[in-house]
Chains A and B, each alone.
Chain A
């Protein structure tokens, strides 16, 4: 669908461990949103910080007409958003970007999520499961408080491996540690990933070693989010040559093997 720009009321604002979840009323966005797409949200109306901030869509409730985002309130924009309460108004553009490609026939897939990046994969898991697929997931974070867990993910996945850097939840280690074993066991067609860039880079490498294609949702600085500023480019190799593709309109989901990691 074409993205829209609108003022949207906050329906609920809640805590998820260290993270915040914000649900807004935006029926047309809820109806058209695909997993992997993002919203671009104004973070300081009338203030000196003009640029919107991009957030992956964590959930789209088509019947309820709402969309949700999950974020870590560590920066100026996320702290402002984290302070929003029910009935506050936010200025949103979306849904933006290409989501994950889920058009293939149903099969077995592996999701790898780091930190709040897992939220976008919960949306994807529900979609893949609804299409008749079998979904397995590896969910990781620095510690238990930064682990994104939700019932949609639990209900949509046939199995979930939990990993934390410090061992406060699940197995101690990195999300890539269980990958070779899970790839061997479930033989997924695709590895879908969302999380910090170093994690995505490692995920792409493990998937490539195992001969499994990967679709990764990247996070880059974006001034506009709508395809005109060319600040959010990601170096990608295509047909032997290097291209600078826009994370906003050419992404934010890219083929992990094509990304020319810095």
Chain B
């Protein structure tokens, strides 16, 4: 028997729920040496901004227990080069693409989205509202319900495809931010971005990242991600969620679906296991078959909390 893993993400139809986490897979070109991109639901591309960005000086990464810190500073070739290069490359291979857009102002997000209108193969846009690495940290939209609503409304009005808001876990009440995003028209949510961390070399006294702080990712943050997905899904059960944060194996993906995720993105695992996405996508079908799950709708949000 074949298990139907197809999902609908705010109107976008994907063959299966396993996608890539932005910034952890490029746009797929490099990773296509290791995986069949057609085995994935979609490729969520690295964040682009209206103009090219050089990013910050090294060191940009540091390993930590069960994870890593990174601060890249949104290095990217700009939205126009992305559309003409990577998006065309993905469309030629019939790989559904989700573009991630970022910026320093509402106008920046709108510029990116307008530049992507009508792009072949683009099935959704993800607003990177929570990247904690930009030099001007006052503009982290995802820390404020008002600013999240403002940028989401403008993005929704400009976009011809579903809009997902990627939120930061570094807030007091993620449900309030999620409600602001959906209230302003977001078609779905991506949960979670990295959480802000820091590491210091005890011998040199130097911070391990050139910016001091950076985003913590990997299995170390998975329980935070599961908690955020569960809290938001409980409050907004009809809003599709792309769950991410520390996914390394099929059990992790199932865990996020049980918390309420519709799709699951693989991030840092790509770095140490370049085959992780395809492996998990194939293993998910096997898992469902082995456990008599005919559709993921049967288990989505079905976590049991006893006591």
The interface of chain A, by Cβ under 8 A from chain B, is 2-3, 5, 42, 48-52, 93, 220-224, 226-235, 242-244, 249, 262
Contact = CB atoms under 8 A, between A and B. Distances in A.
Contact of B63 (A49, A235, A249): A49
Contacts of A50: 63, 66-68, 218-219, 268, 271-272
A230 B63 contact: no
A226 B58 contact: no
B57 A235 contact: yes
A2 B33 contact: yes
Give 6 closest A-B pairs by Cβ, nearest first.
Answer: A231-B61, A227-B30, A224-B271, A228-B26, A231-B60, A48-B65
B61 A52 contact: no
By DSSP majority rule, is chain B's interface helix, strand, loop, or mixed?
loop
Contacts of A42: 272
A228 B272 contact: no
A242 B53 CA distance: 11
Given A51-B68, A228-B26, A229-B70, A221 B61 contact: yes
A56 B57 CA distance: 24
A226 B68 contact: no
Nearest to A243: B54
Residue from B59, B61, B68 having most chain A Cβ neighbours under 10 A: B61
A228 B271 contact: yes
Given A228-B271, A233-B58, 9 more contacts: A50-B271, A221-B59, A223-B271, A224-B272, A227-B30, A230-B72, A231-B61, A232-B60, A233-B75
A226 B31 contact: yes
A230 B60 contact: yes
A51 B66 contact: no
A262 B57 contact: yes
A48 B268 CA distance: 13
A1 B137 CA distance: 42
Interface of B: 23-26, 30-31, 33-34, 46, 54-55, 57-63, 65-68, 70, 72, 75, 218-219, 268, 270-275
Given A50-B63, A50-B67, A229 B271 contact: yes
Contacts of B46: 228, 230
Contacts of A51: 63, 68, 271-272
A243 B271 CA distance: 23
Contact of B274 (A48, A93, A222, A242): A93
A5 B54 contact: no
Contacts of B31: 226, 228
A74 B63 CA distance: 16
A262 B72 CA distance: 17
Contacts of A3: 33-34
Contacts of A235: 57-58
18 contacts: A5-B274, A48-B66, A49-B63, A50-B268, A222-B61, A223-B61, A223-B70, A228-B24, A229-B70, A230-B46, A230-B75, A231-B59, A231-B60, A231-B70, A232-B60, A243-B54, A244-B55, A262-B58
Contacts of A221: 58-62
A228 B20 CA distance: 12
Residue from A49, A222, A224, A249 having most chain B Cβ neighbours under 10 A: A224
A226 B270 CA distance: 9
Contacts of A249: 30
Contacts of B30: 226-228, 249
Nearest to A234: B58
A70 B54 CA distance: 34
A223 B68 contact: yes
A64 to B, nearest CB: 25
Contacts of B62: 221
A5 B35 CA distance: 11
